[in-house]
Structure 1
Amino acid sequence: MGEGNISVTYWLAGGGCIGKIASFGILPVLREVAMPTRKINLTAEQDAFVEDIVRAGKYQDASEAIRDVLRGLQQRVQADDLQLELLRTQLKAGRDALDRGSFTEVNDADLDTALDGLSTTR
């Protein structure tokens, strides 16, 4: 560009350029941002569900609906990972307590009473 010209480029979060604006007249140069595509197989029931929610106006198209499903799956996987990490931490604390001798032995006859006591103290 020549001296005095300013160009600003706008980018999407995913990295795609959505346009440039020059100082001499605002002439946006918009281009479609390519998204990766995948072929997926759905059951007839799943396909009908996607069609129904798109037709009802809840999503603009099937791709938008499937992306929303994937976001939900990502959240569930993250929550599962956090729960697993918590269980591992609790397991380690229990093993450490055993190694230190910090535990109470309970005989079979008193087990139910001991377990009931644990549930009421939490």
Structure 2
Amino acid sequence: MFDIPEGKRLVLFDGVCNFCDASVQRILKYDKNNLYVFAALDSKTGSAVQAHLNLTSEAVDSIILYEPGGSCDIKSTAVLKIGTSFGGFWYLLAIGWLVPRSLRDVLYDWVAKNRYRWFGKRAACRIPTPVEQAKFLP
């Protein structure tokens, strides 16, 4: 099916979206506890996880946070969980938990809908550097 390293959380992302790529770069930079691994939504791993979770591209097309044996979060909830896990000033994102999910997801969906127009997209996923390669699943 799919193989996620023990103790890791998988972030599935839109591999051709420049905004999504910048977000992955930010996670790589601030993930001091080495919690996250990554896969593009349309990769072998991404497709297998989405099938396992019965998620379709219509339901979510830009981020999924999957914790094996734990939870699956999408949209604004995934963003808040990832951001607050960094600690430090990032914990200020916890204020977002005070906003009802339905309202957070309206904002999330608006940004997701416009992300290609605002930030552009690539013809293909960016190739990770040799240092990053271990954090990216096929």
Answer yes or no: same fold by TM over 0.5.
no
Give the structure, 1 or 2, with the largest relative contact order (CA under 8 Å, sep 6 or more): 2
Larger Rg over CA atoms: 1
Which structure is higher in helix share? 1
Question: Shorter-chain TM-score: what band?
Answer: under 0.3
- TM-score normalised by the chain length of structure 2: 0.20
